[in-house]
Amino acid sequence: MNSRSRPDQVVLETSMGKMNVELYWNQAPKTCHNFAELARTGYYNSCKFHRVIKEFMIQGGDPTSTGRGGTSIYGGYFEDEISSELKHTGAGIVSMANSGADTNGSQFFITLAPTQWLDGKHTIFGRVCGGIGVVEKMGMIETDSSDRPVEDVRILRAYHAQ
Residue 122 annotated to the active site? yes
Please pick, among 6, 40, 45, 56, the residue that the annotation labels catalytic.
Answer: 56
Q: Which long-range contacts (CB under 8 A, 24 or more apart) does 108-112 make?
A: 108/35, 108/59, 108/60, 108/61, 109/51, 109/57, 109/58, 109/59, 109/60, 110/57, 110/58, 110/59, 110/135, 111/56, 111/57, 112/53, 112/54, 112/55, 112/56, 112/57, 112/58, 112/136, 112/139
DSSP secondary-structure letter at 134?
H
d(CA 83, CA 87): 8
Catalytic residue (one of 118, 148, 156, 157): 118
Q: Does residue 160 have an active-site annotation?
A: no
State how far the Cα of 48 lies from the Cα of 122, in Å rounded to an integer: 21
Active-site entry in 33, 50, 51, 88: 51
For residue 108, list its beta bridge partners: 60, 96
59, 86, 112, 127: the catalytic one is 59
Q: Which of 49, 78, 109, 125 is catalytic?
A: 109
118 carries an active-site annotation: yes
| Catalytic annotation present for 109 | yes
Residue type at 153 in one-letter notation: V
Q: Is 78 a catalytic residue?
A: no
Catalytic-labelled residue, pool 9, 27, 98, 107: 98
Active-site choice (50, 88, 122, 127) = 122
Question: Is residue 59 among the annotated active site residues?
Answer: yes
Is 148 a catalytic site residue?
no
What are the catalytic residues? 51, 56, 59, 98, 109, 118, 122
